[in-house]
Amino acid sequence: MTYREKSGPSRRDVLAAGAGLVGSSLIPANSFGQTGAPVDLANWSPEYVRKIAGTLEVDTAADCAKIVPLDYRGNITFWYVGPTDASPRIEHEIDAEFWAAFAKTYPNITVEKQSFDYNTILDKLRTAALGNSAPMVARLMLLWAPELAAKGFLNELKPEDVGHSSAEFWPAAMKAVTWRGKTYGVPTYNETMALIWNAELFEQAGLNPEEPPATWDDLVNYSRTIKEKTGKFGYGMVARRNAGNTPYRFMPQCWAYGGGALDETAAAPRYEQVLLDSPGTKAALQASYDMYVRDKSVPVSALTNTQNENQDPFLSGNLAMMISHPSEYAVMLDKAARLSGDERARADRAIAKVRYGLIPKGPARRAVAFGGWNAHIFKPSVTGGKHDMEAARALVTFMTGPEWSTKLAWAGSNPGNLRGFKTSWMKKRLETIRFLDVTTSMLTYGVPFPVIPESTEIMNIIVPDMMQNALTGRMSVSAAADAAARQVRDALSI
C-alpha cells in the first residue's frame, strides 16, 4: 500500500504569521521546512524514512555539555503526563530509562518530578501558576502553549537556547509554541494517528479485510454494515467532554469534509473566520449523528468514552474500527498477556487480525490532528521564586535532542527533533514496531489546532458539547453547530 498522497498589534497581524499546514496541497512547497532542515520533508515517505534511519551517530552527553556543564549542581521541579495503567509496558520501561540516563549524565542535578493524568494536569498548572507554585519545567501537550504564554506563565524558550536549531523541528510543531512572534517551548515529540481495524469483523460483514474505508462516507457505511451483519459495533467514536481524545478524533473528520473550528486548514490562517457552522462541519457532525443515532453502529457510551474505553471491546472482537496511535498494538499485546482461557484466545485472534491504514479522506482533504508535546520553562514569578535556569536548560536539552526525542516517542509517536529520524533508535523502531510506517506517513497530512489561547476551550469543551448536543437530540445537527459557532465568536469577540 502506498501511504503518501499528493494532494499591541492587530489580531490579524498577530495571528497570521507563520502558519503552514504540513503536507497539504494547500501549502506552498517552500513551507515544508526551513533552510538547513536535517531531513527532506518535501520527499517524505515510508521509503525515505527507512533510507535515512541509522545514518546518524549521536553523543547526547557531549551535546548537553556544550549547553550546561555535566558537573553542574542544581535542582528542578518537573511536571508531566507519565505512563499510566493504560500505557504499554515499554512506555514505563523507557520512562524509567530516561530518568536513569539523565541522572547519569547530570549526577548533581536533583529532579522532583510529578506525573499527572492527561485530563487534569492543565487545570492543576493553571491553579499552581496563579498560586506561585508552578514547576520550573513541564512537558505539555502542544494545544496548551498559547494559553499559558498569553497568561504570562512561560519563559521565552527556543531550540537555539538549548543547542538545537529551529530547523530541526517540524514547522507545525514550532508554530504551536509561538505566540505573538515569540517562542515559548521546544517540541519533544509529535503525534499522528491512523485508522485501526479488525480484519476478521470485516470478513464477517462481507467487506474486504485488507481494504479500509477510503472516505469518511465509506466509514459510516462500513460501520453500519458491520453492525447489521455481525451485531458488533463498527466504529469507536469518542465524544467525551473536556478530554483531548475527542477533538483528536472528530477534527480530522471535520477537516476532511471541509469544515473546521476556525480557518486552521488554510495555508496562512488568520483565526478570524469561525467555521463550526460551515457546511463542512455540519456534514461531519451529520456523519457522526448517522452512526450514533440512525445506525446505532457505535457504542452508546461514546458520550463518556475516552480512547481507553475502546481498547477492551476492540481486543475482544466487539469493535471493528478506531482511530489511535501505533502504541495501541503494544497495549493489545500487554492486555492479552494478562488474559487466559477463552478471553486469551479471543484476544490473540483479534491481534492477529489487526490492520492499520491511513485515516479516511473526505471531499476536501485527508487530515489528521498534528499533535505532540513540548518542553516549557515557567517564569520565576509563578514558581515561588524557586528557579534554576541552568538545571532547567540541561533537562530540556537532554529531552529534546535526537536520542530522547526518539526514545520517548518509542511506542506511539514521532521524534520531535527531525534528526531523530536518522538515528539507530529510529531504525530499530521501524524494525520492531508494526504499523509505524502508517502513522509516520500521516505526518504529512497534519493540521495543527488553532494557535490561540482559547484553543483548549474550543477543542476540549465547545467541540465536544456540539457533538453531545447533536447526538443526544438536545439540538438538531445544524442548531448544535450554529450554537458552537456562536460560543467561539463570543470567546474570541469576533
Residues 351, 332: contact at Cβ < 8 Å?
yes
Span 79-104, pLDDT tens digits: 999 998 888 888 999 999 999 999 99
For residue 239, pLDDT over 80 is answered with yes
Looking at 18-27, 270-279, 306-315, 436-445, which range is the least confident one? 18-27
Give 291: exposed, middle or buried? Use CB within 10 Å, 0-12, 13-18, 19+. Answer: buried
Q: What is the pTM of this model?
A: 0.84
For residue 108, pLDDT over 90 is answered with yes
Domains belonging to the chain, first-starting first, are: 43-191+370-445 (3.40.190.10), 194-365+454-492 (3.40.190.10)
- Nearest residue to 368 via CA among 414, 332, 313: 414
The band of 6, judged by pLDDT with boundaries at 50, 70 and 90, is very low
Looking at 16-20, 224-228, 255-259, which range is the least confident one? 16-20
Which of 7-11, 177-181, 369-373, 375-379 has the highest average model confidence (pLDDT)?
375-379
Span 117-136, pLDDT tens digits: 988 999 999 999 999 999 99
Q: CA torsion angle for 330, 332, 337, 343 (degrees, to 10)? A: -170
In the chain, % of residues over pLDDT 90: 77
Angle between helices 341-352 and 308-315 (to 10 degrees): 100
The arithmetic mean of pLDDT across residues 65-84, rounded, is: 96
The band of 385, judged by pLDDT with boundaries at 50, 70 and 90, is confident
Per the listing, cell 530518568 goes with 99
pLDDT of residue 10: 35
CA angle 487, 238, 228 (to 5 degrees): 125
Per the listing, cell 519545567 goes with 137
- Residue 386 CA to residue 98 CA, distance in Å, equals 24
pLDDT of residue 36: 64
The band of 17, judged by pLDDT with boundaries at 50, 70 and 90, is very low
Residue 48 amino acid letter: Y
**b (16+ CB within 10 A) / e for 114-148:** eebeeeebbeebbebbeeeebbbbbbbbbbbbbbb
Higher pLDDT residue, 339 or 28? 339
For residue 32, pLDDT over 50 is answered with no
Order of strands, sheet of 137-141, starting from the edge strand that comes earlier in the sequence: 109-115, 74-80, 137-141, 371-377, 186-191, 414-415
The arithmetic mean of pLDDT across residues 173-190, rounded, is: 93
pLDDT of residue 334: 86
pLDDT of residue 4: 30
Give 397: exposed, middle or buried? Use CB within 10 Å, 0-12, 13-18, 19+. Answer: buried
Contacts of 238 (CB under 8 A, 6+ apart): 245, 246, 249, 250, 302, 305, 306, 307, 310
The band of 31, judged by pLDDT with boundaries at 50, 70 and 90, is very low
- Residue 282 CA to residue 322 CA, distance in Å, equals 21
pLDDT of residue 71: 98
- Residue 198 CA to residue 320 CA, distance in Å, equals 5
Contacts of 104 (CB under 8 A, 6+ apart): none
Per the listing, cell 514521532 goes with 414
Q: H-helix or E-strand containing 188? A: strand 186-191
Give 324: exposed, middle or buried? Use CB within 10 Å, 0-12, 13-18, 19+. Answer: buried
Residues 408, 134: contact at Cβ < 8 Å?
no
pLDDT of residue 326: 79
Instruction: Tell how many helices (H) and how many strands (E) occur in the chain.
Output: 21, 14
The arithmetic mean of pLDDT across residues 287-295, rounded, is: 98
Residue 190 amino acid letter: N
Span 421-443, pLDDT tens digits: 999 999 999 998 888 888 888 98
